[in-house]
Homo-oligomer: A and B are copies of this chain.
Amino acid sequence: MTAARDPGVEAGAPAARERPDAPSSRERLLAVARGDAEPDLVVEGGRVFSAFTREWLDGDVAIADGRIAGVGRYEGGERVDASGRFVVPGLIDAHVHIESSKLLPAEFARVVVARGTTTVVCDPHELANVLGADGAHWLLDASDGLPLGVYVMAPSCVPASALESPRGPLGVADMAGILRRRRAIGVAEVMDFPSVIAGEPDVLAKIALHPHVDGHAPGVTGRALDAYAAAGISSDHESTTWEEALEKRRRGIWVLLREASNARNLVALLELVRRHGPDYCAFCTDDREPDMLVREGHIDAMCRQAVAEGIAPEDALVMATLHPARCHGLAEHGAIAPGYRADLAILDDLESFRAAAVVAGGRVAARDGVAVPFAAPPVPAWVRDTVRAAPLAADAFDLGPAPSANGGAGDETAGHAGDARVRVIDIVAGQLITGAADEPPAVRDGRVVADPGRDLAKLAVVERHHATGRVGVGLVRGFGLRTGAFASTVAHDAHNIVVAGVDDASMAACVERLVALGGGIAVADGGAVRGELALPVAGLLSEEPAEAVVERLDELVALLREQGVEGDAPFMTLSFLALSVIPDLKLTDRGLVDVVGARVVPLVS
Taking the complex as formed, is A183 at the interface, i.e. its CB lies under 8 A from any CB of chain B? yes
A331-B23 contact given A11-B184, A18-B11, A29-B230, CB 8 Å threshold? no
Taking the complex as formed, is A338 at the interface, i.e. its CB lies under 8 A from any CB of chain B? yes
Considering the chains assembled together, what is the distance between the CA atoms of A279 and B13 in angstroms?
21
Q: Which of A14-50 contact B (CB under 8 A)?
A: 14-23, 25-27, 29-31, 33-35, 50
Is A23 a contact partner of B212 (Cβ separation < 8 A)?
Answer: no
A332-B229 contact given A9-B20, A15-B14, CB 8 Å threshold? no
Which of B23, B35, B331 is A1 in contact with, Cβ under 8 Å? Answer: B331
Is A12 a contact partner of B329 (Cβ separation < 8 A)?
Answer: yes
Considering the chains assembled together, what is the distance between the CA atoms of A10 and B211 in angstroms?
14
Which of B11, B27, B181 is A16 in contact with, Cβ under 8 Å? Answer: B11
23 CB contacts below 8 A, A to B, read: A1-B337, A1-B338, A2-B17, A4-B22, A4-B26, A7-B20, A13-B16, A14-B15, A14-B212, A15-B212, A26-B231, A30-B197, A30-B198, A34-B198, A52-B250, A53-B249, A55-B276, A225-B338, A230-B339, A250-B337, A252-B335, A252-B338, A326-B326
Given contacts A2-B15, A4-B26, A250-B337, 15 further A-B contacts (CB under 8 A): A1-B331, A11-B184, A13-B14, A14-B212, A27-B204, A30-B197, A33-B229, A34-B197, A57-B250, A67-B230, A69-B230, A70-B226, A71-B250, A225-B338, A252-B337
Indicate how many identical chains form the complex.
Answer: 2
Cβ-closest chain B residue relative to A234: B331
Which of B50, B226, B249 is A33 in contact with, Cβ under 8 Å? Answer: B226
Is A55 a contact partner of B1 (Cβ separation < 8 A)?
Answer: no
Is B276 a contact partner of A185 (Cβ separation < 8 A)?
Answer: no
Is A231 a contact partner of B13 (Cβ separation < 8 A)?
Answer: no
Is B69 a contact partner of A226 (Cβ separation < 8 A)?
Answer: yes
Taking the complex as formed, is A3 at the interface, i.e. its CB lies under 8 A from any CB of chain B? yes
Q: Mark A137-155, 1 if CB is under 8 A from B, else 0.
A: 0000000000000010000
A338-B201 contact given A12-B210, A23-B4, CB 8 Å threshold? no
A13-B11 contact given A250-B52, A337-B252, CB 8 Å threshold? no
Within the complex, the shortest CB–CB distance from A194 to chain B, in Å, comes to 11
Considering the chains assembled together, what is the distance between the CA atoms of A478 and B31 in angstroms?
40
Q: Mark A180-219, 1 if CB is under 8 A from B, else 0.
A: 1111111000000000111101001000101110000000
Is A199 a contact partner of B31 (Cβ separation < 8 A)?
Answer: yes
Considering the chains assembled together, what is the distance between the CA atoms of A199 and B70 in angstroms?
15
Residues of B close to A331: CB separation below 8 A: 1-2, 211, 234
Is A211 a contact partner of B26 (Cβ separation < 8 A)?
Answer: no
Taking the complex as formed, is A223 at the interface, i.e. its CB lies under 8 A from any CB of chain B? yes
Is A23 a contact partner of B180 (Cβ separation < 8 A)?
Answer: no
Task: List chain A positions with a Cβ less than 8 A from chain B.
Answer: 1-7, 9-23, 25-27, 29-31, 33-35, 50-55, 57, 67-72, 151, 179-186, 196-199, 201, 204, 208, 210-212, 222-227, 229-232, 234, 246, 249-252, 276, 279-280, 326, 329, 331-332, 335, 337-340
Cβ-closest chain B residue relative to A197: B34
Is B250 a contact partner of A53 (Cβ separation < 8 A)?
Answer: yes
Within the complex, the shortest CB–CB distance from A239 to chain B, in Å, comes to 14
Residues of B close to A204: CB separation below 8 A: 23, 26-27
Is B33 a contact partner of A227 (Cβ separation < 8 A)?
Answer: yes
Is A199 a contact partner of B30 (Cβ separation < 8 A)?
Answer: yes
Considering the chains assembled together, what is the distance between the CA atoms of A198 and B31 in angstroms?
8
Residues of B close to A52: CB separation below 8 A: 249-252, 279-280
Residues of B close to A226: CB separation below 8 A: 33-34, 69-72, 338
Residues of B close to A198: CB separation below 8 A: 30, 34
A338-B251 contact given A12-B210, A184-B12, CB 8 Å threshold? yes
